[in-house]
Amino acid sequence: MALGVSTIVFAALVGWVTWKLYAFLKKREKMIRHVDRIPGPPAIPILGCAYQFKLDTIEFTYQLEEWGRKYGFMGDGSCGLMRIWIGPLPIVILSRDEAVKILLESTTQITKPPQYDIVKKWLGTGLLTSTNEKWRSRRKMLTPTFHFNILTNFIPTFSKQGEVLVKQIERYADKEEEFDLFPYIKRCALDIICETAMGAEIGAQTGKNSDYVDAVATLNHLIWHHERLPWMWLKPIWYLTGNGYNFDAALKMTTEFTRKIISERQNSFVKIDTSQPNSEEFTGKRKLAFLDLLLNMQSDNKLTDEDIREEVDTFMFEGHDTTSSGMGYAIWFLAQCPEYQQKVHAELDEVFGDSERLATPEDLKKLSYLEQCIKEALRLVPSVPIFARVLTEDFIYKDITIPTGVTVIAAPVTIHRDPKNWGDDPETFNPDHFTQENMSKRHPYSYVPFAAGPRNCIGQKFALLEEKAVLSTFFRRYRVTTEQNIVTNRPIPEVVSKPSKGFMIKLYKRVQI
């Protein structure tokens, strides 16, 4: 009798396992069948296309561009899609505004792919990495903290750190020697994000807190390394190569620093009246940080200490390298185009005259041409080169079905070069692309440097104000030239776009300060 029961249980177990395996293989077969209808490079079992990946990041960038041309996702006659297998996981890249609109406007396709799991070790399940109801409630909660009246409170910090930047690089002025501007821009952006996010003046530009500065750089580098190479997803390899230990050490450094700042800020916290955005807390009479607004929510029992740590580090992650990339490329493109740089100088002279005062919110509103230049730099080199979603339901575009579970990527760098929207020479820097007249003629999803739809970048107004404030300070003092161009200095599409050879410029004082 016992043997009969055991046999039945064993048979049921075998049947269940067989059924689950059959269902998995059936689902896998469907996914492969649909995905492989999309053009892309050859793939092999287990490794997919990864066996072809160039290990050098610059060479890998060229490889992706070559695949894009070869498989036609930038051509007018193509379907606008390309697939790449990274190990056993397929990724489909969208490069048409119509397809991107379907993806980014969806209220259900908001889940980030498993490649973001490495980021979760740093950011937990903050706004960038959370999904479903947690993301929706957190987004709703945090949106008021980016009210324009709150953001204007940060403009003095933007301008102050811009002043530190122009003084740090003054030694290169009028020397007729090129230097790499990028490290200086990155440290400026880090000082800004630390002060506005945490209320902490870390002095990155003047050489203080170098351990924290180095740790943030290490995390960003290793996150990209982990995402790009599927064999790094295996923990033994991740740690045997030393990457895992370096990541953990940098992670410990950054999170402990953030927790220390939170604890110090809690001890001096005074509750803010968020129902009155025009009160003195929001008008610059009291120096606020993003952290203060989160602590205010904690006092209403909406956030825990760890919730706050996640959101502060998310703000750090999303707002540091992105703005340094955007500012650096805007300066670099203008260095190549003296006629546009001259227009920026003329606009600044009209607004500021000979005054050395810091920029005000009213000043920044008047800098429309500088804003056009910033947007054009973000068109050619979007700070975030891709936006990824893992499909929670089938995605249908034209006659192609991309099954549930596949990772889909919107690629602004290709969307921003579609001749349909950007003319016959989309590779050329031209701020006139962003006159009101020209913007009104284009598809609304032809320009998506901050994504779009419900999961767009919550900090895009912050980023634009920061860039305008810092760049207005920079160009009031200096004129720049460069011998580089985008052919010889290709952008590297890491987690954030970066120049492969830095921003090599020559610096000239406009006036004696």
CATH of the domain at 381: 1.10.630.10
Within 10 A of 422 (CB to CB), how many other CB atoms are there? 21
**Whole-angstrom distance, CA of residue 117 vs CA of residue 135:** 16
Q: Is residue 12 situated within a structural domain?
A: no
Mean pLDDT value of segment 344-354: 96
Are 84 and 67 contacting, i.e. CB atoms less than 8 angstroms apart?
A: yes
Extract long-range pairs of 135-141: CB within 8 Å, 24+ residues apart.
Answer: 135/110, 135/455, 138/311, 139/454, 139/458, 141/297, 141/302
Write out the two tokens for 424: 């016959």
Domain that holds residue 189: 82-399+430-509
Task: Answer yes or no: is 457 a known binding residue.
Answer: yes
What phi-psi label fits residue 242: left (phi over 0), alpha (psi between -120 and 50 degrees) or beta?
Answer: left
Per-residue confidence (pLDDT) for residue 27, from 0 to 100 = 65
Q: Is residue 425 situated within a structural domain?
A: no
Measured CA to CA in angstroms, residue 275 lies from 259, 272, 278, 296 at distances of: 28, 9, 9, 12
Q: Is residue 44 situated within a structural domain?
A: no
> Using 50, 70 and 90 to split pLDDT, how confident is the model at 49?
confident
Q: Among residues of the chain, what percentage have pLDDT more than 90?
A: 37
Nearest to 218, CA basis, from 253, 185, 190, 191: 253
Residue 89 neighbours by CB under 8 Å, 6+ apart: 48, 114, 230, 407
Per-residue confidence (pLDDT) for residue 284, from 0 to 100 = 46
Q: Give the DSSP H or E segment for 94.
A: strand 89-94
Range among 174-183, 281-290, 403-412, 485-494 with highest mean pLDDT value: 174-183
Mean pLDDT value of segment 60-80: 68
Please tell me the least confidently modeled range out of 45-54, 249-258, 378-387: 45-54
Q: Is residue 236 situated within a structural domain?
A: yes
Per-residue confidence (pLDDT) for residue 462, from 0 to 100 = 94
Q: What angle do CA 272, 278, 284 make, to 5 degrees?
A: 75
Q: Is residue 87 situated within a structural domain?
A: yes
Q: Is residue 38 situated within a structural domain?
A: no
Q: Is residue 118 situated within a structural domain?
A: yes
Residue 192 neighbours by CB under 8 Å, 6+ apart: 157, 158, 161, 323, 466, 470
> Using 50, 70 and 90 to split pLDDT, how confident is the model at 513?
very low
Domain count, the chain: 1
pLDDT at 428 over 90: yes
Q: Is residue 477 situated within a structural domain?
A: yes
> Using 50, 70 and 90 to split pLDDT, how confident is the model at 373?
very high
| pTM for the predicted model, two decimal places | 0.86
Please tell me the least confidently modeled range out of 3-12, 212-221, 234-243, 463-472: 3-12
**Whole-angstrom distance, CA of residue 461 vs CA of residue 73:** 31
Per-residue confidence (pLDDT) for residue 287, from 0 to 100 = 66
